Amino acid sequence: MTTTWILVAERSCARIFALQNRVAPLQELESLVHPQSRLKESELVSDHAGKLSDKGQPGTHAAPSATSAKEKEAELFARQLCQRLEQGRAQQQLERLVVIAAPDFLGLLRQQMGAALRALVVAELDKNLATASAEQIRSHLPEHLAQ
């Protein structure tokens, strides 16, 4: 029997489901929350940006941040999710993986996914279904998995 895990995620929460066969209902294995991703930028940053001065120009201006604190938190959550999935792969808890994530977060997950885990991905869907019911999620699965 092939076990398929389905990761349904967005920047602040994720759920992992298992699908044992085409007729079995989705079984929710785990629910993960990353509350830092819900905070405002000002709540994540404890200090003002550094100051820069241009040669020959009076005054200073704030140094731009290459990556916002919210983006860093989203990257951290994506890394944590991929580590959890990798743990499941290493323990042979899954043989296939479906990733359903909000479009911006799907890209972060792809960046964090290692080659061995990436090889298990059989489908991706760029849709935010993190708060959807198991039945709604199942209705979005590719036909070869949902029937």
pLDDT tens digit sequence for 64-83: 555 677 888 899 999 999 99
Does the pTM surpass 0.85? The reply is no
**pLDDT value at 144 more than 90:** no
**pLDDT value at 146 more than 70:** no
Q: Which of 16-25, 27-36, 98-107, 133-142 has the highest mean pLDDT?
A: 98-107
pLDDT tens profile 91-117: 999 999 999 999 999 999 999 999 999
Least confident of 11-15, 33-37, 114-118, 133-137: 33-37
Least confident of 1-15, 58-72, 102-116, 129-143: 58-72
CA separation, residue 100 to residues 56, 130, 142 (Å): 52, 8, 11
Q: What is the CA radius of gyration of the chain?
A: 19
Q: Where are the alpha helices (DSSP H) in 2-133?
A: 41-44, 69-90, 103-112, 115-118
Average pLDDT, the chain: 84
Instruction: Go through the domains of the chain in sequence order and give each one's CATH number.
Output: 4-36+68-146 (3.30.420.60)
CB 51 within 8 A of CB 61: yes
